[in-house]
Amino acid sequence: MRFVDEYRDPAAARALVAHITALVGDGHYKFMEVCGGHTHTIYRHGIEHLLPTSVELVHGPGCPVCVIPMGRIDDAIAVAQASGVIFTSFGDMMRVPGSNGSLLGAQAQGADIRVVYSPLDALRVAVDNPERHIVFFAVGFETTAPSTAATVLRARQDGVMNFSVFSNHVTIVPPIKAILESPDLRLDGFIGPGHVSTVIGQRPYRFVPEEYGKPFVTAGFEPLDILQAIAMLLTQISEGRCCVENQYTRCVSEAGNPRALAFLKEVFELRPHFEWRGLGFIPESALKLRAEFAQWDAELRFEVPGVRVADPKACQCGEVLKGAIKPWECKVFGTACTPETPIGTCMVSSEGACAAYYNFGRLHREVAVNMGGPR
Amino acid sequence: MCLGIPGEVVELLDSNRHLAKVDVAGVRRSINIDLLEDESVAPGDWVLIHVGFAMAKIDESEAQRTLEGLQLMGQAYTDEVRAVLESRIA
């Protein structure tokens, strides 16, 4: 219980861990946390070391930075280097390596690349620089995509023509399905993503219990939320139930945000297929702008090389993203690949499993091992 | 980047542009509330903010709990707050 003391409510955490231990009994369970924010919380707070060894957490593909394939980074850099362009990006994407350097490297070589917090900040750069063309590097799941959609609608309403979006938005359900179809991974349930679900609600996850027989509990981001979600999953299993439940009721409703979903539908359509790092091509898993927004679609305005690039041989991000290996089992983890000089995406984002483990998890693990703990 | 951060709405600004002033960690910034226009956002409401947009209305006590949870995330939380404060949405 060494790790519990730093929690907001250590007594509640202790009680939950005792409850989980009782529910586990002689069983062995493997749960996937889909969202990178959860992975971060799990490693930061040593949750793995609080749990009985018979409860294993597998880190999933819900880190938008991590799942972007190298070829798309190359495409982004090509657009950023086009004449007259100001390229805008969330800060998380700047250090993601492409096959020939990152956006940060391209910036150092003279490309005008600016970090923005919001797509609306990018639109503002466009309004302030009418003689230039501003491209926004749109990444993220359904959490982020409605904001891009609202920004495109704003650009149309205000007649801002020197602005376009390089869309890499992805959707959360197809990779979950791909993982459920994967033959080499046996899971007993899912800790569902919190903020994606504020938009899509709980209904899209019903296929997980109904078609695959796995319980699914949407959770918040504090350590107690994660522990509670694990207890809810185990309770379902012990009672012989299997359904979608919501631990994060303070932010997530059953129906999600219908207005945000309407914005998505108005501006975006599904691509026939999209490449995911580690998961390969997944049908209907990503969003592109509808034809009526072609004016604001960077992929139509610029030469986008669109070359598929294989991950570096040494990099095992794909296996980490599928939950097939733990970060520390990767051959280059912590040696050739560190947050300062990342080889793979999972080491770049603070939500990536490798970066979270590198920064926090290994320290917790060392302490646990030194204390004669389980791992 | 999937972090959301709770803020308290202190003033509705330009309704045409769906802007509201929010208090985030003691500093006031403009955000866009278009995604919540069906839920009649008013001063005093707490909202979850992500990339400059209010994503969901949240209960005040729950917002405090979310904020405490985020603060436990340390660097990831301070990075998010800093990013919000650098934003110039108008």
> pLDDT tens digits, residue range A198-210?
999 999 999 999 9
Average pLDDT along chain A:
91
- Count CB-CB contacts under 10 A for residue A181: 9
Q: A119, B38: Cβ pair inside 8 Å? A: no
Q: What's the CA gap between A131 and A123, in Å, rounded?
A: 14
* Among B residues 4-43, those touching chain A with beta carbons less than 8 Å apart: 4, 17, 32, 34-38
pLDDT of residue B73: 66
pLDDT of residue A323: 80
The pair of structure tokens assigned to A365 is 């693990």
Instruction: List Cβ neighbours of A132 (8 Å cut-off, separation of 6 or more).
Output: A84, A85, A86, A112, A126, A162
Query: Does the pLDDT at position A182 exceed 90?
Result: no
Nearest 5°: phi and psi at A177?
Answer: -65, -45
Query: Does the pLDDT at position A190 exceed 70?
Result: yes
**How does pLDDT run across A281-301, given as a tens digit for each residue?**
999 999 999 999 999 999 999
Query: Does the pLDDT at position A148 exceed 90?
Result: yes
Averaged over B14-34, what is the pLDDT? 92
Question: Residue A31 burial by CB count (10 A; 0-12/13-18/19+): exposed, middle or buried?
Answer: buried
Q: What's the CA gap between A298 and A137, in Å, rounded?
A: 9
Q: Which residue of A has its CA nearest to B67?
A: A222
State which residues form the domain around B76.
5-86
SS (H, E, C) chain A: CCCHHHCCCHHHHHHHHHHHHHHHCCCCEEEEEEEHHHHHHHHHCCHHHHCCCCEEEEEEEECCCCCCCHHHHHHHHHHHCCCCEEEEECHHHCCCCEECECHHHHHHCCCCEEECCCHHHHHHHHHHCCCCEEEEEEEECCCCHHHHHHHHHHHHHHCCCCEEEEEEEECCHHHHHHHHHCCCCCCCEEEECCHHHHHHCCHHHCHHHHHHCCCEEECCCCHHHHHHHHHHHHHHHHCCCCCEEECCCCCCCCCCCHHHHHHHHHHEEECCEEEECCCEEEECCEEEECHHHHHHEHHHHCCCCCCCCCCCCCCCHHHHHCCCCCHHHCCCECCCECCCCCCCHHHCCCCCHHHHHHHHHHHHHHHHHHCCCCC
Q: A250, B87: Cβ pair inside 8 Å? A: no
Averaged over B7-36, what is the pLDDT? 93
Q: B2, A225: Cβ pair inside 8 Å? A: no
Question: Which CATH number goes with the domain that contains A101?
Answer: 3.40.50.11740
Q: Which of A43-47, A264-268, B48-52 has the lowest mean pLDDT?
A: A43-47
pLDDT class of A138 with cuts at 50, 70, 90: very high
DSSP-assigned letter for residue B83 = H
pLDDT of residue B89: 78
Residue B58 near chain A (CB below 8 Å): yes
Is residue A110 one of the residues assigned to a domain? yes
Is residue A231 one of the residues assigned to a domain? no
- Count CB-CB contacts under 10 A for residue A182: 14
Total domains in chain A come to 1
Averaged over A61-79, what is the pLDDT? 92
Averaged over B16-44, what is the pLDDT? 92
> Between B2, B36, B75, which is nearest A36 by CB?
B2
Q: At what angle do helices A223-238 and B60-71 cross, to 10 degrees?
A: 110
**Exposure pattern of A250-264 as b/e (b: 16+ CB <10 Å)?**
bbbbeebbebbbebb
Averaged over A186-212, what is the pLDDT? 96
Q: A195, B83: Cβ pair inside 8 Å? A: no
Residue B70 near chain A (CB below 8 Å): yes
Q: B35, A252: Cβ pair inside 8 Å? A: no
DSSP-assigned letter for residue B39 = G
Is residue A122 one of the residues assigned to a domain? yes
**How does pLDDT run across B31-80, given as a tens digit for each residue?**
999 999 998 899 999 999 999 999 999 888 877 777 776 776 677 777 77
pLDDT class of A374 with cuts at 50, 70, 90: very low
Query: Does the pLDDT at position A355 exceed 80?
Result: yes
Q: Which residue of A has its CA nearest to B83?
A: A117
Residue B51 near chain A (CB below 8 Å): yes
Nearest to A287 by CA among A145, A174, A178: A145
pLDDT class of B2 with cuts at 50, 70, 90: low
Total domains in chain B come to 1
CA angle A229, A349, A368 (to 5 degrees): 55
Q: B52, A124: Cβ pair inside 8 Å? A: no
pLDDT of residue B77: 73
pLDDT of residue A203: 97
Query: Does the pLDDT at position B1 exceed 60?
Result: no
Question: Which CATH number goes with the domain that contains B47?
Answer: 2.30.30.140
Averaged over A59-70, what is the pLDDT? 89
Q: What's the CA gap between B23 and B9, in Å, rounded?
A: 6
Averaged over B12-20, what is the pLDDT? 92
% of residues, chain A, pLDDT over 90? 68
Q: At what angle do helices A145-158 and A119-128 cross, to 10 degrees?
A: 30
Averaged over A5-15, what is the pLDDT? 82
pLDDT class of A90 with cuts at 50, 70, 90: very high
State which residues form the domain around A81.
70-172+256-301
Question: Which residues in chain A are contacts of B69 at CB distance < 8 A?
Answer: 8, 220-225
Q: At what angle do helices A258-267 and A145-158 cross, to 10 degrees?
A: 60
pLDDT class of A212 with cuts at 50, 70, 90: very high
Q: Which of A24-28, A105-109, A124-128 has the lowest mean pLDDT?
A: A24-28
Residue B68 near chain A (CB below 8 Å): yes
Question: Which residues in chain B are contacts of A222 at CB distance < 8 A?
Answer: 65-66, 68-70, 72
Choose between A133 and A305: higher pLDDT.
A133
Choose between A45 and B46: higher pLDDT.
B46
Q: At what angle do helices A223-238 and A36-44 cross, to 10 degrees?
A: 110
Instruction: List Cβ neighbours of A345 (8 Å cut-off, separation of 6 or more).
Output: A63, A65, A66, A67, A68, A96, A97, A277, A317, A352
pLDDT of residue A366: 67
